[in-house]
Chain A
Amino acid sequence: MTWTWFHRLASPPYVYALAARLTPWFAWPAALLIVAGLWGGLVLAPPDYQQGDGFRIIYVHAPSAWMSLMVYTTMAVAAAVGLIWRIKVAHAVAASCAPIGASFTFAALVTGALWGEPMWGTYWEWDPRLTSELILLFLYLGYMGLRAGIEDTQRADRASALLAVVGVVNVPIIHYSVTWWNSLHQAPSVMRLDKPAIAPAMLLPLLSMLLGFTLYFVALLLVRLRGEVLARERSASWIREAVSA
């Protein structure tokens, strides 16, 4: 097996063109899956025997929370690759992730609060799961603030990558917080080693939303990546082609 595909992925013109071509292949399936998931979650799924229709918040809360963790992990891996192999494109991926991840962490916290009030009797509690998710939001904001504060892109890439890599320790803490500590938050119903603890009519719309949000993230990432790649390119004549197209 040759490594040419890997080298091509580190080449800005190749990545720019590939990202533009791939975007609709992720965006349209994402839109279909999300619409199907909303229909299934709001209309087809039966009310929960304990939470009634209030449980339907799961179809926006769980995908947002999934995004907050999955995007951070992607960002940290890309940042590490950028640091270790000094690949500009990898730093561009990491920088593209941050605003997406931050906004969905915010959505996860707000939808969680809106679910907490009717079920636990409070919008907010300094609970392990809630607190560690709030720290995740601060990590994203710190990462973005750090980047914004450094004029030189290469230096911003390296400094922020270090923060992203160190901060990844928070991801398993968030995931396992509900089993390690006594938390108000329920334990995982879908991402567990045995089979999911949720009925198929409720589970399928959720899986559709989770997959839909993941594909939607890839589409967003591809659009942002083109901008970040372009911003890192100084001399190349392909910029002319890229901006005139």
Chain B
Amino acid sequence: MRQFLDMGGYAAFVWPAYLVTLTVVVLNIVWARRALERSRAAARRRLDARGEQP
């Protein structure tokens, strides 16, 4: 395990690279869901403004 984490002495480069990429992967999922939620909320408001009940 120790040896694995050490990455042959490249730990300081390998692990940050994986961390950055996986963070971007996870953030994109959060952002995409949030963008869809925002659009749905805006669409609901547009319907309400027209006096229609969603």
Contacts and interface: CB of A to CB of B under 8 A. Distances in A.
Interface of A: 34, 42-43, 47, 52-54, 56-57, 60-61, 63-64, 99-100, 103-104, 106-107, 110-111, 114-115, 117-118, 216, 220, 223-224, 226-228, 230-231, 233-234, 239-240, 242-244
Interface in B9-54: 9-10, 13-14, 16-18, 20-22, 24-25, 27-29, 31-33, 35-40, 42-44, 46-47, 52, 54
Given A220-B28, A223-B33, A226-B36, A52 B9 contact: yes
Contact of A243 (B4, B17, B33, B54): B54
A56 B7 contact: yes
A227 B37 CA distance: 7
Contact of A61 (B8, B17, B24): B17
B20 A111 contact: yes
Interface of B: 4, 7-10, 13-14, 16-18, 20-22, 24-25, 27-29, 31-33, 35-40, 42-44, 46-47, 52, 54
A243 B47 contact: yes
Interface of chain B: mostly helix, strand, loop or mixed:
helix
B10 A52 contact: yes
Given A54-B13, A57-B14, A243-B54, A227 B36 contact: yes
Given A104-B24, A223-B32, A240-B54, A230 B16 contact: no
Contacts of A220: 28-29, 32
